[in-house]
Amino acid sequence: MRPVMIMAGGTGGHVYPALAVADELKQRGVPVVWMGTKKGIEARLVPEAGIDVDWLGMSGLRGKGLFTLLLAPLKIIMACYQAVKILHKRKPSVVLGMGGFVSAPGGLMAWVTRTPLLIHEQNAVPGMSNRMLSRIANKVMEAFPGGFKTETVHVGNPVRRSITSLSSPQQRNKERDGALRILVFGGSLGAARLNEIVPQACAKILQDRELKIKHQAGPGNFDQTRLNYSHLKIKAEVLEYIDDMESMYSWADLVICRAGAMTVSELAAAGVASVLVPYPYAVDDHQTYNAKYLSDAGAAILLNQNDLNVDTLVDVLKDMDREKTLEMANKARQLGMPESTKLVAEACLMAGGYDVN
């Protein structure tokens, strides 16, 4: 049986949803191979998942210096040559591009070799590779509607089953009383601005009512964040990492975090109210547009980092009670697309001529 080839690389935002699709395909008995680079997170995660990887000697070009840009044409030609060799070796029935710089040469060579090409965009603003490939792809899928000028299918982002299978917000809140539960995180590296502002804002709220706080600070900011709380005499559980996000989403009434594509999709799938502070230096400001998917529906509060200070966060938090957060959580859950992984996998099966049933 010919395999499905997945192209995704660079960051977890591309690789984790691609791994979810790979797992779905493997469970259906379909072989999966991967095209990636040794410089991205896929170099560790994909072999750990038991998937064969072919490597491209390609790195990102956007946002790099002049010398890198001058070498760009040569690097792209070399990457395309490597990609076509990989395609000839693996002979995939279909190629799925899920973003990152590896997708561009791989997708272009899939088109050249007349291999069916599907792409999936995780962010509300498409990345450079997917924008280019959308013009030649057989099918364009997107997590958030309206990102492309071409015809697309809105399928959401593939999210882990452990999150999509969480009980509803109403069920989680049935026997919940007492202090409002706040979860703070800034991704695997943390977010220094949140680590600084959130403790000060919570200190002011605690003058009038109780809060329970869990705060993932990231390894480099763990000690300082713990001090930030202790200096204010606040009892908070400060963590370097969070390994079981599903448990944290289930516990929380309100999440304060960045607005990466997978975070926004997980908040919707889990059904959790949120205050979203987009990372201001994200390419094309895509985190702001990701956040709007929830905030425009009343499922989240969007607070730009330029507007984030102790007083603005206090103004948001003082209006939050369990009735309000439950209302927001229900709106978030309505936007969740728990079948996303299945939809992307089945699109691959149909394009590759496999039996979908």
List the 254-257 sheet strands across, edge first. 237-239, 211-216, 180-185, 254-257, 273-276, 300-302
**Both tokens assigned to 42:** 């896929």
d(CA 274, CA 325): 8
- Find out whether 265 is annotated in a ligand binding site: no
- Find out whether 242 is annotated in a ligand binding site: yes
Which amino acid is it at 293?
Answer: Y
- Find out whether 188 is annotated in a ligand binding site: yes
- Find out whether 57 is annotated in a ligand binding site: no
The candidate with the shortest Cα–Cα distance to 241, out of 223, 260, 274, 218, is 218
Residues with Cβ within 8 Å of 281's Cβ and at least 6 positions away in sequence, in order, are none
Q: Where are the alpha helices (DSSP H) in the chain?
A: 12-27, 42-48, 66-90, 103-112, 128-133, 161-164, 169-173, 192-205, 222-231, 245-251, 261-270, 286-295, 310-317, 322-335, 340-351
Q: Bridge partners of 180? A: 211
- Find out whether 122 is annotated in a ligand binding site: no
- Find out whether 312 is annotated in a ligand binding site: no
Q: What is the 3-state secondary structure (H, E, C) of 24-76?
A: HHHHCCCCEEEEECCCCCHHHHHHHCCCEEEECCCCCCCCCCHHHHHHHHHHH
d(CA 304, CA 325): 20
Q: Which residues are annotated as a binding site for UDP-N-acetyl-alpha-D-glucosamine?
A: 11-13, 123, 160, 188, 242, 287
Annotated binding-site ranges: 11-13, 123, 160, 188, 242, 287
